[in-house]
Structure 1
Amino acid sequence: MRLLPNPERAWERAAHVEALGRAELERRVGPVAGDVEVLSGGHANVNVRLDAERVLRVYRRDPAAAVKEASLLARGWRSFRVPAVLSAGEDFLVLEHVPHVPLEDTATCGAAVGRALAEIHAVGFDAAGFLGPDLAVAAPFGDGVGALRAYVDAVVDRLAPELRGALGGRVGAFLDENAGVLRDLASASVLLHGDFKASNLHGLPSGELLVLDWEFAYAGPSLMDVGQLLRWSPGPEFVAAFAAAYRRSAPLPDGFERWAAAFDLVNLVGLLDGVEPGTRRASDVVGRILATLEHDPPVTATAPERTVPGGLSS
């Protein structure tokens, strides 16, 4: 059995991760019997397994994201599963624990992921930007590609000198050289999961797909999610089945794999923010960035036509 490639499983836990103290935990959910298990954590959030049925998700970076994620989980998705929200507070959700297994790198799983992402991307907006609790765009980007470019510059300026030197300004130069095509491909804004990668996609015994961790959802170009999905090079059967299933409901441009990798450069640079040089994470991410930059992009790409509604719809 071949699992969907995911080197991120082996990354070091960031030094800034803090344990959630027992008193802090019980202040939100009341007394908890027995030991608890920290599943993941960091500046953005921390996830704690409370028992066989519940996971506590605390939002450290942006407490308002709890309301946004709860709204997305309650949307009534048809082609995949999400955890049910059992209770909520000012900066946390208590979610149903759904037993799951890592996703396999097969055509069957690729098709399931394609159907799921097409359903997510069927939710359209009239502008790119960050979403508010009501799932409307609360902070429009204006020039979406320009906003992504500015984000790259801001992160690169914060990087350790060794990492900044390894990139050598090449990501910004690449985005500038291809800005016209990227703008064409970003002309339609859809709901993005925002963290659509192997660590958030899982299989269930029923054969259903489970999609976790919606905190980073925002409105933007569909290829941002596709780039995250394909980042670590799943097999050709997975990719072909994904594309075929996705295209039954939503458009993909010619050369989508290459251009999705171009959009994912922005996400990859973000993954270096605050990372120490010499870590496995730094090595994997810098290697992926350089491999993308060294692969010549197609000269042109044609953005598929799609009707974008004025605001949230499905």
Structure 2
Amino acid sequence: MKENWERSRPVQLLEMQELEWMLQSFMPGKKLEAFYLLGGGYSNTNYKLQVETLGDPLVLRVSSEKLCKFENSLHSRLQQNLPVPEIYFSESHGDRSFSFMEWRTGSQLKEVMYQGERNAVKQAAFSVGYWLSQIRKHTFTESGFLNENLDVCEPVKITPDTFLAFMEEFLIKGKTGLWIEKEMTAAVWDYARKNKHFLKDIDVEPALVHSDYNGLNILASKNNEPCEVTAIIDWEFAFAGPVYVDIGNMLRYENFRYYADFELAFIEGLEFGGIKLHKEWKRIAKLVDLIALCSLLNNQHGGENRIKDIKQLISQTLKYEK
């Protein structure tokens, strides 16, 4: 799952002095005892901070000013009824804007998926599906990208025509074609044209989409029964749209032992939470995820590991016929 992917932005390595300055903005007089760079993020930079007299660590998240404000608004809206860490304090400083947020315990869902026992995998999947159903309770009047006030500022609705327009933009006009062979480009375009009709009327009830809802951005309880979600993190790509975006992302990787059990329990959790899916839900989710996969290659820097992984995922999608 995104093994050794190259980052889209370089890590913002901070010196002790700068970390202490940020901490003083939040907690004047407190001493920073230790800090650790957290792995897993591909766009922003996160540190785990141990502060004197505090029993639990803090998370320091460094990002752009725009993203910092956006995540503050979103966390504030969601933390009352979703397992989303509380943001205690933030300050804007351009590309080094920062937030201090709650530390949540748990293992990455990825570890449970690939290393957990069958029962733990099923429990985690059900919990992940259920919480996605609760995310969908945050509705919008139209689909599209959100501003820092959580208003739709750029309406975008997924339809057969807009789907094909996205694919044309990435494959033919954009940079995606630089990283995949001509044969694959032609195959993806052909697949998109033949299957676009499945996307009719899938985006009629716009609600919140995490847009990076996968095993890297969800924490699950470690040694407790049952294995449940303890935190959903990294909301930077959130927008308003159809649930199939998050379904496709969550079920993107199938290369672990209990995938079939995971998929079944995940859908059961969604339905338990009140989500009613189209009978062709899996095909729809894979089509929508194809937009995301192609967009990830629509850049000039590529990245050897990223390209290899995404090409394998695209090939997997093209083989889906039922």
What is the distance in 1 between the residues matched to 2:8 and 2:157? 35
Query: Aligned letter for 2:204?
Result: S
Q: Which runs of 5+ in 2 are unaligned?
A: 25-29, 51-55, 114-120
Residue of 173, 179, 188 corresponding to 2:205: 188
Give runs of aligned pairs for residues 67-216 of structure 1, distance below 5 A.
67-76=69-78, 80-90=82-92, 91-103=97-109, 104-105=112-113, 106-141=121-156, 146-156=161-171, 157-159=174-176, 161-163=178-180, 165=182, 167-205=184-222, 207-209=227-229, 210-216=231-237
Residue of 237, 243, 247 corresponding to 1:226: 247
Query: Aligned letter for 1:68?
Result: F
Distance 1:77 1:15, change over 3 A: closer
CA RMSD of aligned residues (A): 2.9
Equivalent pairs: percent with the same residue? 25
Instruction: Please state if 1:238 is matched with 2:262.
Output: yes
**Preserved CA contact (<8 Å) 2:137 2:207:** yes
Question: In the comparison of the two structures, how many residue pairs are matched?
Answer: 288
User: Which deviates more from structure 2 when the two are superposed, residues 69-78 or residues 239-248?
Assistant: 69-78
**Preserved CA contact (<8 Å) 1:191 1:217:** yes
**Preserved CA contact (<8 Å) 2:105 2:219:** no
What is the distance in 2 between the residues matched to 1:263 and 1:67? 28
**What is residue 4 of structure 1 aligned with on the other side?**
none
**Preserved CA contact (<8 Å) 1:41 1:47:** no
Give the C-alpha shift of residue 27 in structure 1: 5.0
Query: Aligned letter for 1:180?
Result: H
**Preserved CA contact (<8 Å) 1:268 1:285:** yes
Residue of 274, 277, 281 corresponding to 1:256: 281
Distance 1:185 1:57, change over 3 A: same
Give the C-alpha shift of residue 239 in structure 1: 1.5
Give the C-alpha shift of residue 229 in structure 1: 0.4
**Preserved CA contact (<8 Å) 1:79 1:115:** no
What is the distance in 1 between the residues matched to 2:315 and 2:67? 32
TM-score, with normalisation over the residues of structure 2? 0.78
Distance 1:235 1:132, change over 3 A: same
Distance 1:25 1:164, change over 3 A: farther
**What is residue 290 of structure 1 aligned with on the other side?**
315
User: Which deviates more from structure 2 when the two are superposed, residues 130-139 or residues 156-165?
Assistant: 156-165
3-state secondary structure, aligned to 1:50: strand
Distance 1:145 1:212, change over 3 A: farther
**What is residue 23 of structure 2 aligned with on the other side?**
29
Q: Which runs of 5+ in 1 are unaligned?
A: 1-6, 299-314
Distance 1:164 1:46, change over 3 A: farther
Distance 1:34 1:158, change over 3 A: farther
Distance 1:288 1:21, change over 3 A: same
What is the distance in 1 between the residues matched to 2:237 and 2:186? 26
TM-score, with normalisation over the residues of structure 1? 0.80
Residue of 52, 57, 61 corresponding to 1:53: 57
Query: Aligned letter for 1:129?
Result: G
User: Which deviates more from structure 2 when the two are superposed, residues 210-219 or residues 89-98?
Assistant: 89-98
3-state secondary structure, aligned to 1:253: coil
Give the C-alpha shift of residue 251 in structure 1: 1.2
3-state secondary structure, aligned to 1:122: coil
Distance 1:277 1:130, change over 3 A: closer
**What is residue 118 of structure 2 aligned with on the other side?**
none
